[in-house]
Amino acid sequence: MSKIVADNISPRGSDVTIAGVGTFSSSGVNLTGVVTATSFVGDVTGNATGLSGSPTLSGITSVSTTNLTVNGNAYPNGGPLSNRNLIINGAMQVAQRGTSSTSSDFRTVDRFYYNFGNTLAGTQSQQTLSSGTPYNEGFRNFYRFAISTPGSATSTYCQLIQGIEAQNLATSGWQYTSADSDITVSFWVRSSVAQTFYGALKSSDGTAQNYVFSFALSADTWTKVTKTIPGNTNVQIDNDNGQGAQLIIYPFMGTNYSDSSVNVDAWQAYSGSTRIPDMATDWVLTNGATFDVTGVQLEVGSVATPFEHRSYGDEFQRCCRYYQRLEGRSGQDGDICISAFYTTTNAYGPIYFPNGNMRTYPTVNIIDNAITFYYPGNADASLGFFVGGIHLERIALNVQNVSGSAGDSGFLRLLTSADVFEFSAEL
């Protein structure tokens, strides 16, 4: 028999089996070979597993899933598709102020600072990364704190902070007052001492709110930390240029600032004496202990997508909204601002910020090592300075202790790299 023609095949039992082809039953069709058809109609439900080769899916207009990963890369489920990272300089590339300092606060890596003190002493520094998993993911720098004098279990504090401008958060797409809307933080971290550490996202406007999370580290091992944080009805973020939130990573906080009652993975009102749960003291009591961080990202949605590497120039410009400097250079002409004599002893003129407007009117710090004022036939050092007006894009500088004639003009030279004008509008 070469052909069976039938209008209706009725199974004797529950299934119809065609040897070598497959089985047809009320629960489905199970075929052993390849299915070829001109079209499929109807919904596809359940999990499609075992897809291999190079299947082509066309005509798909929507994919809805909580976690979509393609070739190992997580894809966002919220927020924009570019400029996702709300953290500036998360790869620790830019360090305008310097690369190493034993002082607390803004001293080295831009936009971040280690705030530390109360018996704890150490060095904060921008370090070069030369191997390891974060290196393979494109990171070449990290931000380190190294202990030179161990702290105390009660009063010592050491926290790595970046303040986030409120309007950047307010317009990010994170519905920060909704528990159904998430923001996700991720970063690479390494400690020379194994211990459980803490981090937090702390809102700044209104009544400050605090969301604490923990992470355990093995000694000398880079670890990728990710934490998804929901919104909360008590969180307030204004659409302005003030500080909207702080992302904080805690190498250590003494018991003056911690309490065992603090909950992790939950929002609560911020209190300076109950910032985080009580911490182990292994790290803070170890002379020479180090704490390293890089690849800090904060993004809308519940997925930690791959770090958004931005160019050095891009990150540098972003940093300059908060800090800029004019620095001299030995043996070189330049670094000059033109100034005109207002009286015989006072010269006056503007200095425009080299990289655009700043977040707010900046603090001006003048480091005068050998700043010299030149004018026709003369050069004055041992100058006095007064900043008469501070604007978003410039200052009005009054140079004193000069001796010329009203109406003359001159120029200011920063003769070495130790001669600096700093403009700071940090959060």
Partner 1 sequence: MYQQVRNIFGEVSQSVIKKTDSLTFIPTDPDNIDYQEYLAWLAEGNEPLPADDPS
Per CB under 8 A, 342 contacts partner 1:
yes
Q: Of 113-121, 153-161, 289-297, 419-427, which segment contacts partner 1 by CB under 8 A? A: 419-427
Asked if 115 touches partner 1 (CB under 8 A), the answer is no
To partner 1, the closest distance from the beta carbon of 417 in angstroms equals 17
The count of other CB atoms within 10 Å of the CB of residue 295 is: 27
Kindly tell me which of 284 and 399 has the beta carbon lying closer to partner 1.
Answer: 399
Count of residues making up the chain: 427
Instruction: Please tell me whether residue 365 binds partner 1 under the rule CB under 8 A.
Output: yes
Nearest distance from C-beta of residue 101 to partner 1, angstroms: 16
Q: Which is nearer to partner 1, 137 or 368 (CB)?
A: 368
- End-to-end, the C-alpha distance of the chain in Å comes to 87
Q: Does 121 bind partner 1 (CB under 8 A)?
A: no
**CA 262 to CA 220: how far, in whole Å?**
28
Instruction: Provide the token pair at 334.
Output: 């330049």
Sole residue written with tokens 């080299």: 354
Scan residues 208-247 and list those touching partner 1 (CB under 8 A): 241-242
Which among 39, 43, 15, 41 has a CA at the least distance from the CA of 27?
15
Stretch that binds partner 1, among 117-125, 126-134, 274-282, 363-371 (CB under 8 A): 363-371
Half-sphere exposure of 150 (CA within 13 A, CB side): 11
User: Do residues 399 and 426 make contact, with C-beta atoms less than 8 angstroms apart?
Assistant: no
Shortest spacing between CB 90 and partner 1, in angstroms: 21
> What is the distance of C-alpha 25 from the center of its chain?
56
Going 369 to 374 to 379 to 384, the CA torsion angle's sign is negative
Site string for partner 1, 14-53 (x = CB under 8 A): ----------------------------------------
Shortest Å, Cβ 272 to partner 1: 14
348 touching partner 1, by CB under 8 A:
yes
Site for partner 1 in 129-158 (CB under 8 A): none
Question: Out of 134, 151, 362, 410, which residue is the one contacting partner 1 (CB under 8 A)?
Answer: 362
Give CA–CA dist 174/416, Å, rounded. 46
Query: Does 346 help bind partner 1 (rule: CB under 8 A)?
Result: yes
Rg of the chain on CA atoms, in Å: 30
Hey, which bits of 254-345 come out as E strands? 267-269, 290-300, 323-327, 336-341
Smallest separation (angstroms) from partner 1 to the CB of 391: 9
**Residues forming a β-bridge with 203:** 245
To partner 1, the closest distance from the beta carbon of 96 in angstroms equals: 17
Per CB under 8 A, residues contacting partner 1 are: 241-242, 342, 345-346, 348, 359-368, 385-390, 395, 398, 400, 424-427
